[in-house]
A and B are shown apart, each in its own frame.
Chain A
Amino acid sequence: MTAAIEATGINKWFGEGEARTHAVKDVNFQASFGEMVYVVGPSGSGKTTMLSMISGILRPNSGTVRIEGTDIWSLDADALAEFRLHKIGFVFQDYHLFPRLTTAENVAIPLILQKRDWAEALAEAEKDLEVVGLKNRAHLAPVKLSGGEQQRVAIARAITSRPDIMIFDEPTASLDGDTGRSIVQFVRQNLLSDKRCIVIVTHDSRIYEFADRILKMEDGKVSGVERSELDAQ
């Protein structure tokens, strides 16, 4: 069976000469459909850099990244953007919602980028807001929502194009413990399916229990670890 994500020997360094920093070192990464994979590690370990490379946002200096068998870094810029738009849903750490748009319009953005009709995209977005329990917030500006609600809006935006891969960057970083747990639990129960793969970068040990597999990054290298080992830490 084709892996959802398969990265082989990816390297990334920044800067030149003495200022050169090798952020990701010869990393191999694989994730399957129906799997929720965490990438954990201290700040500066390279996990966000790796996440960016496997999601088609940051070009690796070497190595290949295949998503559903497609070598994404062999695509040209437009094709790669199109690929991300249809295949990958992003939930950013700071949500990056548009304060001047309504909640529903924020959620509809991927559909609008797919050139869907405005009204149709908004109708779809409202359905997705219902999925995350925010249907009654559809016409509010994001600034009027709580942190947890904004996170849910960001999740609704990520799922609205029905992506096969979902990428979460520190989804609980701005939330209190209970809200963070409930969000990830919701993701696990409602969004994970055998046709979807979810990758989460996090520091938050309180949500480890929801992962199928946890990878630890340290100094640009990745290693598989047992949850119990992390819990003990």
Chain B
Amino acid sequence: MLIARHLLGLHTAAMPFAIPGILKIAYKLLVNDRAKFAALLVGITFAVFLMIEMTSLFAGVLNRSSATVINIGSSIWVMDPAVQTVANTIPMPNYVLDEVRSLPGVKYAVPLYSGAALLKLHDGTYQAATIVGLDDTSLVGRPQMISGNIQDIYAENAFIAIDDSEFYKLESPHIGTEFELNDHRGKIVGIARVASSALFGIPTLYTTYYRALQYIPNTRFTISYILVEPKTPEDIAGIKRRVAADGYLALTKDEFMSKISKFYMYQTGIGTNLLLMTLISFIVGLSISGQTFYTFILENIDRFGALKAIGAKSRELVSMILFLATFVALIGYGFGVGLCALLIWLARAHLPDYAAMITFPNLGLAFVMVVIIAASSSYFGVRKVLRIEPFDIFRG
């Protein structure tokens, strides 16, 4: 609480901005009641922290679940309609690629391989990895190189390692590091970075589409996705319609990410559990803050009555309560956001796989919930204060 007062410069002796005297009285009533003020702040801070932490975890999981889509960055993805997430690929026959290439409005269409493989590292241990096979001709979806040259991907046994949070699981390789993949020799020819790490905690290697097919055991059909670039944005609808007519599904990047998000939200327990935790956080915050605030009003009810007797108008008393609720809610919100950001930062510093990610919608949702907490808390206080009769003060 003292930190709050000093951070905001709201010491009782000097306020940094001019607020009406009646609100200053309200402020002093609350802030000088240190136990209540601290309890209110702790309640709201804790609730905000939990709400943002839960929703940030969810946002992080969703973001990572779409990592390949984000990193490859194609405008349109063609896939089997049964695909639910980018990791669960259903290979398509080669003629689909030819057919998509022939559609009007298609600027280009290239195959993408995405699959898992087991690597035998230099020290003899095995490590699962995601292998992304880029179109040999265009290298559409190539990562941003940190070291090495992208052309080296065409060299014998060449792979590019992605330096993300899982990089260390490949024994932090450098150019020239070798490994085995399905009895084939693999060699790191470059280190690259991508926008987002994957969800499943395994490292990623990029190679060419045909090398991926040679090195990794395959099914009859081999194309995981077809990456399509339309000539104009207006062509997208036509491409989607024609692909659907062939029994496949064409989705824009955003639609594919949304499909993946919906899968994790509604077809796994993750969304429900995190939503429940967010609701519980809200209820805990509402209970602690609402009860403490109401107790504060009850303890001061005779003073509010005295103010009314002296000549305070009802709207002034209401403004005092709303001001207090808003004041506490905003400080608690700030502390909650700060605490959450700090803990996520600390967690990321020690746990590279930690997926939480604070987004503006998370902050907005927590803010709306804090407003509801403040509004509910003040509603009961306002009701109580409006009902108090100054005559009760005379009667004692």
Contact = CB atoms under 8 A, between A and B. Distances in A.
Which secondary structure characterizes the binding site on chain B? helix
A161 to B, nearest CB: 8
Given A92-B306, A100-B28, A109-B307, A77 B21 contact: no
Contacts of A116: 21
Contacts of A85: 310-312
Given A112-B21, A113-B22, A113-B307, A98 B394 contact: no
B396 A113 contact: no
A10 B377 CA distance: 40
Contact of B313 (A78, A90, A118): A78
Contact of A48 (B29, B311, B395): B395
B24 A100 contact: no
A17 B393 CA distance: 26
Interface stretch (A29-37, A50-58, A217-225): A50-58
Interface in B302-320: 302-303, 305-314, 316
A169 interface: yes
B393 A96 contact: yes
A96 B311 CA distance: 14
A94 B391 CA distance: 13
Count chain A CB atoms within 10 A of each CB in B30, B32, B310 and give the residue with the most: B310
B311 A110 contact: yes
B313 A109 contact: no
Count chain B CB atoms within 10 A of each CB in A100, A109, A110, A157 and give the residue with the most: A100
Given A98-B29, A100-B33, A113 B24 contact: no
B306 A57 contact: no
Contacts of A117: 21
Contact of B25 (A49, A86, A112): A112
Contact of B309 (A84, A98, A118, A121): A84
Interface residues of A, number: 35
Contacts of B311: 81-86, 88, 110, 113
Contacts, number: 88
A49 B307 CA distance: 19
Interface residues of B, number: 30
A81 B313 contact: yes
Interface string B150-186: 0000000000000000000000000000000000000
Contacts of A57: 309, 389-391, 394
Contact of B29 (A100, A112, A121): A100
A81 B29 CA distance: 22
B310 A121 contact: no
B217 interface: no
Given A96-B302, A101-B29, A52 B24 contact: no
B310 A90 contact: yes
B313 A77 contact: yes
A124 to B, nearest CB: 12
Interface string A93-125: 110101011000100011011011110010000
Contacts of B22: 112-113
A115 B389 CA distance: 23
A46 to B, nearest CB: 12
B20 interface: yes
Contacts of B312: 81, 85, 113
B309 A90 contact: yes
Nearest to A84: B311
A66 to B, nearest CB: 19
B303 A98 contact: yes
A113 B29 contact: no
Nearest to B33: A100
Interface string A36-75: 0000000000001101100001100000000000000000
Contacts of B303: 96, 98
Nearest to A116: B21
Interface in B3-44: 20-22, 24-25, 28-30, 32-33
B394 A101 contact: no
B20 to A, nearest CB: 7
A41 to B, nearest CB: 15
Interface string B58-87: 000000000000000000000000000000
A169 B30 CA distance: 28
Contacts of B389: 57-58
A47 to B, nearest CB: 10
A24 to B, nearest CB: 12
A227 B303 CA distance: 35
B328 to A, nearest CB: 15
A115 B394 CA distance: 25
Contact of B394 (A52, A82, A86): A52
B318 to A, nearest CB: 13
Count chain B CB atoms within 10 A of each CB in A52, A77, A83, A88 and give the residue with the most: A52
A61 to B, nearest CB: 13
A101 B20 CA distance: 16
Nearest to B19: A118
9 contacts: A77-B313, A81-B308, A81-B312, A83-B311, A84-B310, A92-B309, A110-B311, A112-B22, A121-B21
Given A81-B311, A113-B22, A118-B24, 5 more contacts: A52-B391, A58-B391, A78-B313, A92-B309, A100-B29
Interface of A: 48-49, 51-52, 57-58, 77-78, 81-86, 88, 90, 92-94, 96, 98, 100-101, 105, 109-110, 112-113, 115-118, 121, 157, 169
Interface of B: 20-22, 24-25, 28-30, 32-33, 302-303, 305-314, 316, 389-391, 393-396
| 3 closest A-B pairs by CB | A85-B311, A112-B21, A96-B306
